Structure 1
Amino acid sequence: MPTDAYARASQAQASAHRRRRRRLARQAATRQPPVPDAPPAAGSPSQQRGYQAEHQARDYLEARGLRILAQNLRCKAGEIDLIARHGDVLVFIEVRQRCDGRFGGAAASVNRAKQRRLIRTAQHFLARLCRQHFQATRAPCRFDVISLDDGGLRWIQDAFRL
């Protein structure tokens, strides 16, 4: 007799799991994360400049066919400035701006420590992003850097790897 109870419980759990997966898939297909268009009201002058650089980078990438999925995702490990979809690839984008090139410029500021933080942060959000935008399949990923130096914008695709 206990075997029947266990079998029924197992079937009920499997059925609930299937319903939840279908509901999450429907939600992911219809929901688009908000992408802010206006700079935040508060913040230091350097934060305001950083937001303007991210906005400029977002416009640049959208003009080249990337679909922005999220902006400024934060967790305990760090922050990712932009997350986009480029075909079937999930792209994590770091935006760096420097007014002075004395210390190597904006692209050089993405050093090994910053790369490790970006990778940890991307790993934190990877499962959720794949569920929302890739029908729960594991998507290939890459890390890009947008550097803004002396008024010029440079897009470095696949800037670093794991």
Structure 2
Amino acid sequence: MGATGANDGFVCQRCGDDGPTVSERGRISLMALLCERCWKAHADEIAIHEGATDTPRPEPDPDDVAPYEPPRCPHCKAEVSPCLTNYDRWIHLATRDYPAKDVPARYRWRLMAVVARHSSVPTGFVAVRVRGIEPLPSDLVRPAHRAVCLSPDAMDEVEQEPVSDL
């Protein structure tokens, strides 16, 4: 059986398209074979569910000589760590790890190294939500900044979360 399109026979798993935009999607592991339109919709759905709807880190102007400050939360002014997710969306994480017992399940993330194909050298990091297998209470996780934010809205949201974990 031969290839059906100009993309080595890949077919979108969502809409069945075999056009040139169909490719393997996911930064550290294959999440799906999707066309560009279906990938955007799928990644947006995951991002809304996981809370990864933050803006990307602004790229500094190479000609700018002003000091570069780390990004800060607009609500509590604490330093945040913007990270790219496995599905190409951004999440603001806390700047340090916490034991899993101190972080509600909805806000648990880990940073995974991204390695180049046929290499063992890390080229960057990707934020991956902890789910499926519960971590031990003493395992370290990186919470979403929302879990440690001092704004009243965030604190109310996080206080209600452990009730739903039970």
| TM-score category of the 2 structures, normalised to the smaller one | under 0.3
Q: Higher strand proportion, which one? A: 1
Instruction: Compute the TM-score of the two structures, normalised by the length of structure 2.
Output: 0.23
| Relative contact order, higher structure (CA 8 A, sep 6+) | 1
Instruction: Compute the TM-score of the two structures, normalised by the length of structure 1.
Output: 0.23
Q: Higher helix proportion, which one? A: 1
